[in-house]
């Protein structure tokens, strides 16, 4: 129990310390040692509780409840104030509404309800703790080098790094809280803290765009926050329930339970940036890249799908199940399409994140053990791979001066090591022997087994589209351009260490996924669904695991004999004119030298962002409205 408390409190303590330290060297020491301690502690907690299965902690403190309420009200007040200051009154109003609900519920009902267990830990929380602890700490270490460059690029501005690291570490604490809270009011508290951290980090640079996007984030997430508090109020007033485990044992076909689950889903959907609320995640890309890696791809948005996966047994063939399935599936398909039209690397990553979160949510909503297995696997693989990709883009951006994919022409020649890592990351997102594909495969089987035509359509077409946008990016990366300068030397050491570790992790979890499945996921699925099947062996068979692992090994081994060794004569490209010898220009008619430039294919007419977003917005909003009308009308299945 104390180890869990340590996880909750230690990062917060580090955060306060980092807020006070102004010296860069000292900060480095604190961040690295703090990150290592957090990593070690999360691994320790994982090992400690893995054997025990689900463990509850009946720790109680009235003081703590009041403290949380006070903090929440202070945060609400801060948002109201900032909303007034920047003339974003909608944010102020929403925050006020939320505060009113919160205080009303806290005073009238919450203290009457007896909460047995405030904290818990199970295999799913362990997975999340490992993701937050390991990846989160690595990203914090990476931020050291990144923020040093960042400060150099923004010399004229005040050094606000203490504030940055304060937010990052507070965020880690809050995330640990989200995945271990059994008390719904605690869950809500941590949930709001992460929203506020994200708000502050998006607005970190205080440029006009950053402020605008941070308010977009807070407004949409406050809608989710209000849905969350309403869900808690429904449960509290109707059933006197304020605990997760009790909720999960209730019958989801009762109207008020379904209403609560529906509201929880809305909260999850906003946090996970699924359509129609996805626009905040795109805006969030103005934040410093480590923030995007930590909050907006590997952890905070995962809290949204964590909630949905957690509620998985409540979904299935009922109204909320269909609602989340359709929204998740459509988000996967449409966000993948929109990714085609983007040339900004971070926006491509953002759309791909939205798409994958959609797929995870859809898996959760199917409500079968296979689908949940697939969803959890995608969650794990995506967290590792995507955070690495974000960090790679961040490093590339600081060294080639652009985050545009068009400028990554021949990155392989300019930053060979970084490109190798990026290639591993991109391949990891969509190609055969890597983890993401294995879990997408499982997702596909579970969709077919649940006989859901919408999801089958979305995954078939969505996968096809996915190949296109990753493929063309990968192509840009591998192009070999002559006479390019190596600009890799100035990359900070911390960045290399972290990127290397993440790449190792990407490969390592591919090799160890049978183990993750049998040791962590299966016991969890057994406790949730009561079916003692290890789906990975039931659906694929052990032979296929071997084939996949063999292919993976092959991909590691085959490049070796080819690496930079060839006896062939190297000749120039065909240019349909006399190549000037540098592969960059040719002699055209009248002896003029014509420069060659190549651009990627974006298909703006078909997959333009505005068009796709409009379709998504209309469809998903309609789905939500219909679902809630049905629930309130008493239709549940």
Q: Where do contacts with another protein occur on this chain (CB under 8 A)? A: 409-410, 431-433, 437, 441, 444-445, 448, 451, 453, 456-457, 459-461, 463-465, 467-468, 471-472, 474-476, 478-481, 540-541, 543-544, 547-548, 551, 554, 558-559, 562-576, 583, 596, 598, 600-601
Which residues are CB-neighbours of 531 under 8 A, at least 6 positions away?
A: 369, 525
CB of 118 or CB of 466, closer to another protein? 466
- Backbone angles phi and psi of 120, in degrees to 5: -150, 170
d(CA 398, CA 128): 30
CB of 300 or CB of 333, closer to another protein? 333
Q: To the nearest whole angstrom, how small is the minimum distance from the Cβ of residue 71 to another protein? A: 48
Please spell the DSSP secondary structure of 348-385, one letter per residue. HHHHHHHHHHHHHHHHHHH-SHHHHHHHHHHHHHHHHH
- 572 by DSSP, 3-state: which? coil
CB of 468 or CB of 628, closer to another protein? 468
Q: To the nearest whole angstrom, how small is the minimum distance from the Cβ of residue 157 to another protein? A: 39
Q: To the nearest whole angstrom, how small is the minimum distance from the Cβ of residue 381 to another protein? A: 15
- 160 by DSSP, 3-state: which? coil
Please spell the DSSP secondary structure of 227-243, one letter per residue. HHHHHHHHHHHHH---B
Q: To the nearest whole angstrom, how small is the minimum distance from the Cβ of residue 300 to another protein? A: 31
Q: To the nearest whole angstrom, how small is the minimum distance from the Cβ of residue 362 to another protein? A: 16
Element holding 55 (H helix, E strand)? strand 55-57
Structure tokens at 189: 């508290």
CB of 501 or CB of 596, closer to another protein? 596
The DSSP call for residue 595 is: E
CB of 159 or CB of 486, closer to another protein? 486
Closest to 193 in 3D by CA, of 281, 104, 74:
74
Element holding 596 (H helix, E strand)? none
CB of 165 or CB of 470, closer to another protein? 470
Q: To the nearest whole angstrom, how small is the minimum distance from the Cβ of residue 602 to another protein? A: 10
CB of 431 or CB of 501, closer to another protein? 431
The answer to whether 129 and 46 have CB atoms below 8 angstroms apart is yes
Instruction: Please return the burial class of 557, using the count of CB atoms within 10 Å of its CB with bins 0-12, 13-18 and 19+.
Output: exposed
Q: To the nearest whole angstrom, how small is the minimum distance from the Cβ of residue 374 to another protein? A: 13
Adjacent-strand bridge partners of 593: 587
Instruction: Please return the burial class of 107, using the count of CB atoms within 10 Å of its CB with bins 0-12, 13-18 and 19+.
Output: exposed
Q: To the nearest whole angstrom, how small is the minimum distance from the Cβ of residue 457 to another protein? A: 6
Q: To the nearest whole angstrom, how small is the minimum distance from the Cβ of residue 453 to another protein? A: 6
CB of 276 or CB of 367, closer to another protein? 367
Adjacent-strand bridge partners of 579: 586
CB of 468 or CB of 529, closer to another protein? 468
Question: What do you get for the CA distance between the two ends of the chain, in Å?
Answer: 40
CB of 74 or CB of 598, closer to another protein? 598
Which residues are CB-neighbours of 458 under 8 A, at least 6 positions away?
A: 329, 330, 332, 333, 362
Sequence-ordered alpha helix ranges (H) in 55-183: 62-85, 89-105, 123-130, 137-153, 161-180
The DSSP call for residue 253 is: T
Element holding 56 (H helix, E strand)? strand 55-57
Q: To the nearest whole angstrom, how small is the minimum distance from the Cβ of residue 564 to another protein? A: 6
CB of 155 or CB of 576, closer to another protein? 576
Q: To the nearest whole angstrom, how small is the minimum distance from the Cβ of residue 336 to another protein? A: 10
């Amino acid at each position: 129990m104390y180890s869990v408390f340590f996880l909750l409190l230690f990062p917060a303590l580090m955060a306060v310390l980092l807020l006070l330290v102004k010296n860069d060297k000292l900060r480095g020491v604190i961040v690295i040692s703090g990150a290592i301690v957090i990593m070690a502690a999360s691994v320790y907690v994982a090992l400690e509780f893995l054997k025990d299965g689900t463990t509850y902690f009946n720790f109680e403190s009235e003081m703590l409840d009041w403290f949380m309420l006070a903090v929440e009200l202070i945060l609400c007040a801060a948002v109201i104030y900032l909303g007034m200051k920047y003339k974003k009154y909608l944010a102020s109003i929403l925050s006020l509404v939320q505060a009113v609900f919160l205080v009303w519920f806290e005073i009238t009902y919450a203290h009457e309800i007896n909460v047995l267990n405030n904290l818990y830990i199970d295999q799913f929380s362990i997975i999340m703790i490992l993701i937050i602890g390991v990846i989160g700490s690595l990203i914090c270490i990476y931020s050291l080098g990144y923020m040093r460059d960042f400060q150099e690029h923004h010399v004229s501005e005040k050094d606000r790094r203490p504030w940055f690291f304060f937010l990052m570490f507070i965020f880690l604490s809050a995330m640990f809280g989200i995945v271990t809270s059994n008390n719904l009011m605690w869950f809500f508290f941590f949930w709001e803290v992460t929203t506020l951290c994200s708000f502050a980090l998006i607005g970190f640079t205080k440029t006009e765009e950053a402020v605008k996007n941070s308010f977009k984030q807070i407004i949409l997430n406050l809608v989710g926050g209000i849905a969350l508090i309403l869900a808690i109020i429904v449960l509290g007033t109707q059933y006197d329930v304020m605990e997760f485990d009790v909720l999960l044992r209730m019958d989801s076909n009762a109207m008020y339970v379904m209403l609560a689950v529906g509201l929880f889903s809305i909260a999850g959907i906003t946090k996970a940036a699924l359509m129609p609320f996805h626009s905040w995640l795109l805006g969030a890309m103005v934040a410093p890249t480590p923030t995007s890696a930590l909050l907006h791809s590997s952890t905070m948005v995962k809290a949204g799908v964590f909630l949905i996966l957690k509620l998985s047994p409540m979904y299935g063939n009922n109204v909320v199940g269909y609602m989340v399935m359709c929204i998740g599936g459509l988000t996967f398909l449409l966000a993948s399409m929109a990714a085609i039209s983007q040339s900004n690397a971070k926006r491509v990553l953002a759309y791909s994140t939205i798409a994958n979160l959609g797929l995870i949510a859809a898996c959760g909503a199917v409500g079968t053990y296979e689908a949940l297995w697939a969803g959890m696997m995608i969650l794990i693989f995506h967290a590792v791979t995507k955070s690495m990709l974000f960090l790679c883009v961040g490093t590339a951006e600081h060294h080639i001066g652009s985050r545009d994919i068009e400028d990554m022409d021949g990155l392989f020649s300019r930053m060979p090591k970084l490109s190798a890592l990026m290639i591993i990351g991109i391949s990891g997102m969509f190609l055969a022997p890597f983890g993401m594909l294995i879990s997408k495969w499982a997702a596909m089987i579970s969709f077919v087994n649940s006989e859901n035509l919408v999801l089958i359509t979305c995954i078939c077409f969505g996968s096809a589209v996915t190949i296109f946008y990753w493929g063309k990016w990968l192509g840009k990366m591998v192009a070999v351009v002559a006479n390019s300068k190596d600009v890799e030397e100035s990359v900070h050491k911390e960045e290399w260490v972290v990127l290397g570790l993440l790449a190792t992790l990407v490969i390592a979890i591919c090799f160890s996924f049978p183990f993750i499945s049998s040791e962590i996921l299966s016991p969890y699925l057994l406790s949730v669904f009561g079916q003692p099947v290890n789906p990975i062996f039931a659906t694929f068979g052990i032979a296929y695991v071997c084939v996949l692992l063999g292919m993976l090994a092959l991909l590691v081994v085959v490049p070796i004999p080819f690496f930079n060794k060839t006896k062939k004569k190297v000749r120039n490209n065909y240019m349909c004119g006399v190549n000037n010898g540098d592969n960059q220009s040719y002699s055209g008619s009248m002896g003029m030298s014509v420069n060659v430039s190549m651009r990627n294919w974006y298909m703006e007419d078909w997959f333009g962002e505005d068009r796709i977003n409009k379709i998504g917005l209309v469809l998903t909003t309609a789905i939500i409205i219909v679902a809630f009308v049905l629930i309130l009308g008493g239709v549940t299945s």
